[in-house]
Amino acid sequence: MCTKWDDEPELRIAAFEHCFVLLNRDQFFPGYTFVFTRSHVTELFHLSPQVRSAIMEEVNCVAAALFNAFSPAKINYELLGNMVPHMHWHLVPRFTDDPLWPRPIWSEPHEPVILSAEQYRERIGIIRTLLETQKNGA
Amino acid sequence: MCTKWDDEPELRIAAFEHCFVLLNRDQFFPGYTFVFTRSHVTELFHLSPQVRSAIMEEVNCVAAALFNAFSPAKINYELLGNMVPHMHWHLVPRFTDDPLWPRPIWSEPHEPVILSAEQYRERIGIIRTLLETQKNGA
């Protein structure tokens, strides 16, 4: 996570005060997005209430934008960190016609869905537009 | 979720202002706890910032107590709701010697681990004590 922002500029969606927002390269679940903290922190309870709240507002803002962008049945919010402890949220729009619905995204392995550069740009553009709408409406 | 609190009194850990806290009957992952909202809500972005923040502080408080109670390597925080939309968090202490580590808890099915009534009481007692410590230290 620590270098993902630098390593994958073509997947960048937004840079917030506390978090970076990056599209997952694997778009098997359309709109699957990472929100990860700028600081190398690991657990919510290591943060001050102010920073925790600010991070959660950023996570929330991205979730709302994904919901408005893709009209899924549900957003899944997952903060795991077993493999990569650096705090990162998996925000995954879930659709009733996705192959794993209604099970968690991890219940079955799948081949990654890789988009063209143009498709990534388009998808990121849609999310950015909704994030802007979100911000202006807040 | 809506009736779980009434249906499973022997698994109750705590009743907060916004959320109920309940031990998962399946203790394959020791300490696996649900935090679910009293109100029937589904997405974080449907809540006011005040209520969202209050709920997250309750989730955080339980996560810290679980960490202090069980000394896991990591806490997993998951808000899914595909099957049961009523907002509920899966808070799962993860250990480096758990059979699925470091993969998500959903990566493989498992037989549920059911405890004796006395074992549930004991485990719940430990978490409650740490929740109290948490509250008094806050």
Rounded to whole angstroms, the Cα distance separating B126 from B132 reads 10
**What pLDDT, in 10s, does the model give residues B83-129?**
999 999 999 999 999 999 999 999 999 999 999 999 999 999 999 99
Please state, in angstroms and as integers, the Cα–Cα distance from residue A103 to each residue in A64, A76, B109, B135, following that order: 21, 11, 12, 35
| Those residues with Cβ within 8 angstroms of residue B74's Cβ, 6 or more apart along the chain or in another chain | A42, A43, A80, A81, A82, A85, B93, B94
CATH code of the domain made up of A4-137: 3.30.428.10
| B contacts of A90 (beta carbons < 8 Å) | none
Helix H or strand E segment including B70: helix B49-70
Q: Across the interface, do B78 and A78 touch by the CB < 8 Å criterion? A: yes
* Confidence (pLDDT) at A114: 98
* Confidence (pLDDT) at B135: 74
Could you list the pLDDT tens digit for every one of the 138 residues in chain A?
778 899 999 999 999 999 999 999 999 999 999 999 999 999 999 999 999 999 999 999 999 999 999 999 999 999 999 999 999 999 999 999 999 999 999 999 999 999 999 999 999 999 999 999 877 765
Instruction: Taking residues B35-48, report their average pLDDT.
Output: 97
CA distance A83 to chain B (A): 6
What is the pTM for the complete model shown?
0.96
* Confidence (pLDDT) at A85: 94
Instruction: Closest CB to A60: pick one of B52, B75, B76.
Output: B52
The residue among B47, B50, B58 whose CA lies nearest residue B18 is B58
Q: Across the interface, do B74 and A53 touch by the CB < 8 Å criterion? A: no
Which residue bears the tokens 């009209």? A71
Domain spans in chain B, listed from the N-terminal domain onward: 4-137
Please state, in angstroms and as integers, the Cα–Cα distance from residue A50 to each residue in A112, A126, B103, following that order: 37, 30, 31
Judging by beta carbons within 10 Å of its beta carbon (0-12, 13-18, 19+), is residue B109 exposed, middle or buried?
exposed
Residue of B41, B80, B134 to mutate when probing chain A, most A C-beta within 10 A:
B80
DSSP letters, chain A, are -TTHHHH-GGGEEEE-SSEEEEE-S--SSTT-EEEEESS----GGGS-HHHHHHHHHHHHHHHHHHHHHH--SEEEEEE--SS--S-EEEEEEE-TTSTTTTS-TTSS-----PPPHHHHHHHHHHHHHHHHHHHHH-
* Confidence (pLDDT) at B134: 79
